[in-house]
Amino acid sequence: MDLQEFKDALARDVFGKTKEEATSTGLCISCGKPALERCYSDAGRREYYISGLCEICFDEITNEED
C-alpha cells in the first residue's frame, strides 16, 4: 500500500469519504456542509483544498483543549 492509498483508507475509516471525494463535491469532509461558505479567510480556503476540512471544523480540531 502506498502513502496515498493509506491516506484514503484512513479518511474513509474516519470520515466515510476521501479528501478528493469531499473537495470534488465542495463539502467538508467532517461536517458535510458546503465548505467554502464556512471558510472566512484565505488561509481557511487554502486549508480546505489541503485537508478537506472547512475552516470551522479545522479550527475545532486544532484548537481542542484537554
pLDDT of residue 17: 96
The CA distance from 24 to 65, in Å, is: 31
Q: What is the pLDDT of residues 6-59, one digit of tens each?
A: 999 999 999 999 999 999 999 999 999 999 999 999 999 999 999 999 999 999
Q: Show me where the domains of the chain are located.
A: 3-62
Per DSSP, helices labelled H in 1-66 are 3-15, 19-25, 42-51, 55-62
Residue 50, CA atoms < 13 Å, CB-side half-sphere:
8
The model's pTM is 0.85
Q: What is the pLDDT of residues 27-42, one digit of tens each?
A: 999 999 999 999 999 9
Q: 39, 34, 32: which is closest to 55 by C-alpha?
A: 39
Q: pLDDT exceeding 70 applies to what percent of the chain?
A: 95
Output the 3-class SS for 38-55.
Answer: HCCCHHHHHHHHHHCCCH
